């Protein structure tokens, strides 16, 4: 039986000459958008991915996979997988456990930025994977609000910080990946996603950071400085603390100095607030000097809260009480992801 015909109705106001070049252009454009978003196409990326999955014994694309066992650093998770779930839980159990603790996914509608699938004028700077949306929602929609009273942030600070971060993330790949990498900490400790997924994001964060640092136009931007800051924080809490202290934190300090100091960098107050907190916890837990000591007067003039060491440590202990359950990355390799 032939497939039923589908009609697409287009509303287009024009005073006269309905068959003008402008009208035809509008019709063709609408048809192209419909075909791209809705109409089935032969040899689509989803179909090809499904065939690859069947050839390798992976779960069907008709349902969310129960595990991401094949997600090694050398291969990214499939863009059609909802979430790289822990292999120790079934799909239903994992999703129910996640939603019971962290709310349904996602409510901030980051999928509107999905490679033009929802709006061709907005796009992620990298290939999109559906589980990226959940991680962003988890970080900005759950973790930050949960830690709000402990990091001395109010709704206005979090809203400005989220807005600034999201704008920067969709324009700079290294910040995009480092933000996702930062967000994996708690989900890994709770068994909500696999360590392999976090490891893959770690490799992509390192790779894109190297690319940004080798590009004179991107090396010292606010987005790249923020990316280095987030990598340093994640490695300090969940990964290689020595790497954070010996490489990432000194790099952050040098980058700010090369821009002429924190005042010349011109970060929004909300971003300075979050950077001050992350610097405080890294300095306190490693017994090292703060990167922002020389900018204390400037931060005070801007009204940025000065965290006591115990305050900074307490915030992480409350928001991520199971941080010790994170397996870390020291015994795992990311070399394949950087090839």
Tell me: the pLDDT tens digits for 128-166?
888 998 999 999 999 999 999 999 999 999 999 999 999
Predicted pLDDT at 6: 59
Q: Residue 22: which pLDDT band, with cuts at 50, 70 and 90?
A: low
pTM over 0.75: no
Segment 283-330, tens digit of pLDDT = 999 999 999 999 999 999 999 999 999 998 888 888 899 999 999 987
Q: Could you tell me which residue, 226 or 37, shows the higher pLDDT? A: 226
Give the whole-number percent of the chain exceeding pLDDT 70. Answer: 61
Q: How far apart are CA 196 and CA 74, in angstroms?
A: 10
Lowest-confidence range among 72-76, 143-147, 181-185, 206-210? 72-76
Residue 33's pLDDT band, with cuts at 50, 70 and 90, is low
Per-residue pLDDT for 121 more than 50?
no
The pLDDT of residue 334 is above 50: no
| Axis-axis angle for helices 249-258, 222-238 (nearest 10) | 160
Task: Give the pLDDT of residue 30.
Answer: 64
- Report the alpha-carbon distance of residue 305 to residue 274 in Å, rounded: 10
Cβ distance 15 to 9 under 8 Å?
no
Domain ranges of the chain: 63-323
d(CA 312, CA 277): 6
Which has more confidence, 276 or 8? 276
Q: Taking 60 as the threshold, does the pLDDT of residue 102 lie above it?
A: no
pLDDT at 229: 97
What's the rounded Cα separation, in Å, for the pair 69 and 195?
Answer: 10
């Amino acid at each position: 039986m032939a497939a039923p015909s589908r009609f697409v109705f287009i509303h287009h106001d024009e005073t006269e000459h309905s068959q003008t070049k402008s009208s035809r252009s509008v019709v063709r454009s609408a048809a192209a958008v419909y075909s791209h978003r809705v109409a089935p196409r032969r040899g689509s990326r989803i179909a090809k991915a499904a065939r690859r999955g069947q050839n390798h014994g992976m779960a069907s694309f008709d349902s969310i996979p129960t595990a991401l066992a094949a997600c090694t650093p050398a291969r990214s998770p499939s863009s059609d997988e909802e979430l790289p779930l822990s292999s120790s839980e079934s799909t239903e159990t994992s999703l129910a456990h996640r939603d019971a603790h962290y709310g349904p996914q996602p409510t901030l509608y980051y999928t509107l930025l999905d490679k033009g699938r929802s709006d061709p004028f907005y796009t992620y700077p990298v290939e999109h994977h559906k589980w990226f949306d959940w991680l962003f929602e988890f970080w900005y929609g759950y973790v930050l609000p949960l830690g709000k009273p402990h990091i001395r942030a109010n709704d206005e600070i979090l809203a400005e910080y989220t807005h600034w971060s999201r704008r920067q993330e969709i324009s700079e790949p290294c910040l995009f990946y480092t933000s996702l990498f930062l967000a994996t900490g708690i989900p890994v400790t709770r068994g909500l996603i696999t360590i392999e997924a976090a490891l893959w994001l770690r490799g992509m964060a390192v790779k894109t950071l190297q690319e940004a640092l080798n590009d004179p136009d991107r090396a010292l931007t606010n987005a790249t400085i923020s990316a280095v800051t987030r990598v340093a924080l994640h490695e300090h809490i969940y990964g290689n603390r020595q790497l954070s202290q010996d490489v990432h934190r000194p790099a952050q300090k040098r980058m700010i100095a090369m821009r002429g100091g924190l005042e010349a960098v011109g970060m929004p107050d909300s971003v300075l607030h979050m950077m001050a907190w992350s610097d405080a916890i890294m300095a306190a837990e490693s017994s090292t000097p703060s990167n922002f000591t020389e900018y204390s007067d400037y931060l005070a003039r801007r009204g940025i809260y000065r965290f006591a060491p115990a305050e900074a440590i307490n915030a992480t202990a409350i928001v991520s009480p199971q941080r010790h359950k994170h397996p870390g990355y020291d015994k795992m390799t990311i070399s394949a992801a950087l090839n």
